[in-house]
Amino acid sequence: HRENFFVAFSKFEESCKEFNRARVIYKYALDHVPKDEAQRLYEMYSAFEKKHGTRETVEDVILSKRRFQYEEEIKENPLNYDVWFDYIRLEESKGIKERVREVYERAIANRPPVQEKRFYKRYIFLWINYAIYEELEVKNSERARQVWRACLDIIPHKKFTFAKVWIMAAHFEVRQKDLSAARKLLGVALGKCPKEKLFKSYIELELQLVEMDRCRKIYEKYLEFLPENCKAWVQYAELEGSLQEDERARAIFEMAVNQPTLDMPEMLWKAYIDFEIKCKAHKRVRALYDRLFKRTKHVRVWISRAQFEASLDDVKAARKVFEDADAYFKSNEEAGKEERVMLVESWLDFETNYGSNKSVKIVRDKLPRRVKNKRLVKGEDGSDAYWEEYYDYIFPDEDKKQNTFKLLEMARAWKKQKSTD
């Protein structure tokens, strides 16, 4: 048995005080004996170095043992990327770049057998780490570029992509001062597999380079791809606003609010109104609020309109907004009592700051009572499940209605009793 032969040979040299010869035999054996047969050899070599070696040689033995363990785990499952990461970290700690590259190359050769993104997520980080290692540790920019290109080639972009890889590869080219290569990469990415993250990164790059015309072109492509994205519309308009291009910004906002579907319309309208307030175009602001009221009667819109009028010290106009809002929520029971409570509380704050004691009292008298009620909760099958407690709000005008209703009921009961007698 070869393992026993090498162990016996090394022990003989050790007994003859030939420690260097014994060490050479152990190392030769570890390089040539199959890993699955070398367990005892590692143990004997480790014991030998602890007895006769220096700190460095002991560390080498430990390193060799860990290499052996990683090799065994990889042999069992070459797609266990966590083991590959640990193995690479081990080699990087030693700093021998040839060995590090060898392990990286072996690791990336184990491509996931199924073209699904979830299987590629860990695998792709092997490529990313490899490229970063070549650029920052080895200082080999050309090899790093080759790694990025190879990584992009192995991703099946028609099925899925990794925006992170495209962006990091482009940033690498920027660090190499090759802006045309960076732009080409991001352009190819948007052509092959457009994603929101790619558009944002490309725009950010051009903003840093103060290339505003390029930013405009990318925003146009971005909004062609995602016309319902309110955040993109707002950012585009804000960019034009920051360049003092108010008419362009206004035109962008107009295009945005007229889109058939929007993911966050409330954010878009708020940004448009804030833009016009910043431009001190107060007539336009009021016109925007009027247009918005045709689309929604949300309580926050009413409050915002009133606060706008108050900010211009037009107390009468602000109070009129609150009165109209209160009338709307009073007549529209579907709007919800919580919204009306929010409105009255905002109105009270307004009167406290801008009104008189009389106006404050009028609004305070509109505040509701908070009462605890019970309601029957139905089960999934439609049967009665249980009673739950909840808080309700009773406004003063509702109290009056209830009192009138009770009087009518009492009158009917009295009349019925009279006719019976």
Q: What is the pLDDT of residue 360?
A: 93
| Percentage of the chain exceeding pLDDT 90 | 65
Q: What is the pLDDT of residue 410?
A: 60
Provide the pLDDT confidence category of residue 66 given band limits of 50, 70 and 90.
confident
Quick one: which of 318, 325, 326 has its CA closest to 351?
Answer: 318
Give the Cβ contact number of residue 237 at 10 Å. 26
Query: Would the pLDDT of 412 be above 90?
Result: no
Q: Specify burial of residue 143 (Cβ count, 10 A radius: 0-12, 13-18, 19+).
A: middle
Query: Would the pLDDT of 402 be above 90?
Result: no
Q: Residue 208 in contact with residue 172, Cβ under 8 Å? A: no
Section 28-46 average pLDDT = 74
Q: Specify burial of residue 408 (Cβ count, 10 A radius: 0-12, 13-18, 19+).
A: exposed
Task: Give the integer Cα–Cα distance in Å for 13 and 23.
Answer: 9
Looking from the CA of 193 toward its CB, the CA atoms found within 13 Å total 16
Residue 272 sits at the vertex; the CA angle it makes with 271 and 274, to the nearest 5 degrees, is 65
Q: What is the pLDDT of residue 404?
A: 47
3-state helix, strand and coil shares in percent for the chain, rounded to the nearest 5? 75, 5, 20
Q: What is the pLDDT of residue 25?
A: 86
Section 207-235 average pLDDT = 96
Q: Average the pLDDT over each of 1-10, 179-188, 313-322, 336-345 and give the range with the smallest value.
A: 1-10
Q: Residue 199 in contact with residue 190, Cβ under 8 Å? A: yes
Query: Would the pLDDT of 318 be above 60?
Result: yes
Average pLDDT, the chain: 88
For 346-377, write each residue's pLDDT tens digit. Answer: 999 999 999 999 999 999 998 888 878 777 78
Provide the pLDDT confidence category of residue 36 given band limits of 50, 70 and 90.
low
Quick one: which of 97, 198, 90, 189 has its CA closest to 143?
Answer: 97
Q: Average the pLDDT over each of 118-127, 183-192, 373-382 and give the range with the smallest value.
A: 373-382
Higher pLDDT, 265 or 48: 265
Quick one: which of 181, 193, 194, 187 has its CA closest to 156?
Answer: 193
Residue 217 sits at the vertex; the CA angle it makes with 215 and 222, to the nearest 5 degrees, is 90
Q: Specify burial of residue 4 (Cβ count, 10 A radius: 0-12, 13-18, 19+).
A: exposed
Query: Would the pLDDT of 403 be above 60?
Result: no
Q: Average the pLDDT over each of 15-19, 127-131, 402-406 and give the range with the smallest value.
A: 402-406
Section 22-32 average pLDDT = 79
Q: What is the pLDDT of residue 105?
A: 96
Highest mean pLDDT among 259-263, 373-377, 416-420: 259-263
Q: What is the pLDDT of residue 405?
A: 44
* CA dihedral sign of residues 244, 245, 247, 249: negative
Task: Give the integer Cα–Cα distance in Å for 167 and 255.
Answer: 30
Highest mean pLDDT among 140-149, 373-382, 398-407: 140-149
Q: What is the pLDDT of residue 367?
A: 87
Residue 316 phi/psi, 5° resolution?
Answer: -60, -45
Q: Average the pLDDT over each of 18-27, 103-112, 120-129, 257-266 and give the range with the smallest value.
A: 18-27
**Number of DSSP helices (H) and strands (E) in the chain, helices first:** 21, 2
DSSP state of 35: G
Task: Give the integer Cα–Cα distance in Å for 398 and 198.
Answer: 55
